[in-house]
Structure 1
Amino acid sequence: MMKLLLSNDDGVRAEGLKVLAERLRQVADKVTVVAPDRDCSGASNSLTLKRPLCPETMDNGFISIDGTPTDCVYMGLSSLFNAEAELVISGINHGANLGDDVLYSGTVAAATEGRFLGVPSIAVSLVGKQHFASAAEFIARLIPAFKQLSLPPGSIININVPDLPYDEIKGIRLTRLGHRHQAGEPVATIDPRGKQRYWIPRVGPTKDAGPDTDFHAVEQGYISITPLHVDMTQHSALADLQVWLAGLEGLLESDRD
């Protein structure tokens, strides 16, 4: 039995969050839900810094915050709600978080904030909008063994579940992130008052969906599990950069002369 903090980026009233909370309350000691008061898809790791936040407790016990997914996990793990979480779970997202999606995902960002604050964290997404119960069932079966998992510091787990009945899912695949093509140009439109507006387009089509990628696993009917690392340092580039900077050093000294 564990103490869990749940959040998401689709909003506190989202079906995926509701289904996940209901299922996990059957296997967890305590489930605290702190989520945005609206859809914050694409919010990434943004924090609300220029105004105060206003938490409100809903009739079902969920806590709604007028902020981002990262705000919600930050607040949820503070002493305000006495969450005492041993695991942060973000989701169930309404749609995929595959490949480059993780750069923009509020779902992944909420899990990242949990890990940053020292709590093991999982992001879970349904690649569709129908079989949320399948994703919830998988997480319910996974978390009893989660304490046995040892990950490097700064790591989170990104899970994508195919939109299938649970007994039709073929299995689990450990994957790497695939990649998408660049999205298209902003889409122009005119609002009712005649002002020019622009929509950000949908994500680009798949570019790298090799057999070891998250895209491929889900397409074949498997649950994809991808470890993500918060450290964005490109360690393999350090040696080349060191040589380059050594050449710049003399140039900067000449400029000072």
Structure 2
Amino acid sequence: MHILLTNDDGVFAPGLRALRKELMKLGDVTVAAPAVEQSGVAHTITLWSPLVVKQVEDDDGSNLGWSIEGSPADSVKLAICELMRRPPDLIVSGINHGANAGINVLYSGTVAAAIEGAFFKITSVAVSLELSEHFDFPHAAAQARRVIERVLASKPADGSLFNVNLPARSRGEAKGVKVVPMGLGRHGEGFERRQDPRGRTYYWMTYTPPREVPGPETDVTALADGYIAVTPLHFDMTRHDRLQEVASWDWGG
């Protein structure tokens, strides 16, 4: 099996390196990831500037992979189209430094990289680790590998897309795995108004991850309860259930 590994925290991020070691137990791993952190860029692609690419080494001098001066989606697209001899069998994005659950999925560069892989009809998995004072990436990587093994054992259709959120180890061992929908509620967002030394006003975004959200169980609530949250996703944003209704409206034609 040939695996393409990427992320949005940058090619030298500890989460990517830890996951690479675990994925090497499943097959050959090619790394193609942004040169610098790209958190929150969603599905940005680069159109008006060149994508500078170079091979980079790991701490031991061995080849780590490709560093790409672009977004996570750029990295996956370029790897498949130009850098790899053949398309990978699996694409994994992560481990992200912080959860990508609920509406954060829409902003996430980590998830966007996996979506880009699914565009190419390749099974793709995004992996994120709940925010914690001390990230235990080796432990999280081992959990992620086991989840990915179960995904592969189930032989999903080509282009299947999964979002995996892992609970922080500081809250204890994960209670298990729950397959849950993406949470859609807004929560804990705002801006703090400040002034810089020259008297200019600026705003700093604030965010408080929820622990209890009323309503059905979602990736947000499952993660808060200490479970690994697995959510199958798709990128078709069409409201198929409304096509016939909207088509019946008077469009003046």
TM over 0.5: yes
Distance 1:154 1:236, change over 3 A: farther
Percent identity (aligned): 40
Rg (Cα) greater in structure: 1
Give TM-score scaled by structure 2 length. Answer: 0.86
* Residue 154 to residue 242, structure 1, CA distance change in 2 (3 Å): farther
C-alpha distance in 2, partners of 1:98/1:222? 13
Q: Give the Cα separation in 2 of the matches to 1:163 and 1:77.
A: 32
**Paired residue secondary structure (1:77):** helix
Match of 1:91 in 2: 94
Range moving further from structure 2, 164-173 or 37-46: 164-173
Match of residue 61 from structure 2: none
Alpha-carbon shift at residue 6 of structure 1 (Å): 0.5
Match of 2:42 in 1: 44
Q: 1:232 to 1:14 in 2, by over 3 A?
A: same
User: Cα distance, 1:166 vs. partner?
Assistant: 11
What are the within-5 Å matches in structure 2 for residues 42-191 of structure 1? 42-60=40-58, 61-82=64-85, 84-129=87-132, 130-151=135-156, 155-164=160-169, 168-181=173-186, 184-191=189-196
Residue in structure 2 matching 1:243, options 245, 248, 252:
248
The answer to whether the 8 A contact 1:8-1:110 is kept is yes
Aligned residues: 246
CA change 1:82–1:54 in 2 (3 A) is same
Does the Cα contact within 8 Å between 2:194 and 2:203 map onto a contact in 1? yes
Contact 1:178–1:214 (Cα < 8 Å) also in 2: yes
Cα offsets for 1:21-79 (capped at 9, x unmatched):
12222x13210111111111111001010011111111122211111000011111123
TM-score by length of 1: 0.85
Q: Is the 8 A contact 1:180 1:207 kept in 2?
A: no
- Do 1:100 and 1:180's aligned partners in 2 also have CA atoms closer than 8 Å? yes
**Counterparts in 2 of 1:83 and 1:17: CA distance versus 1, 3 Å:** farther
Partner amino acid for 2:94?
G
Native 8 Å contact 1:44 1:105 kept in 2: yes
1:93-117: CA deviation from partner (whole Å, max 9, x where unpaired): 1001111111100000000000101
**Where do 4+ consecutive residues of structure 1 move more than 6 Å?**
none
Cα distance change, pair 31–41 in 1 and its aligned pair in 2 (3 A): same
Which range is displaced more, 74-83 or 232-241? Answer: 74-83
Equivalent residue for 1:233, pick from 212, 231, 238: 238
Give the SS at the match of 1:62.
strand
- Contact 1:181/1:205, CA 8 A, preserved across alignment: no
Change (3 A) 1:174 1:184: closer
Structure 2's unaligned 5+ residue stretches are 59-63
SS in 2 for 1:178: coil
Q: Which amino acid aligns with 1:197?
A: Y
8 Å contact kept, 1:116–1:154: yes
The separation in 1 between residues aligned to 2:33 and 2:241, in whole angstroms, is 37
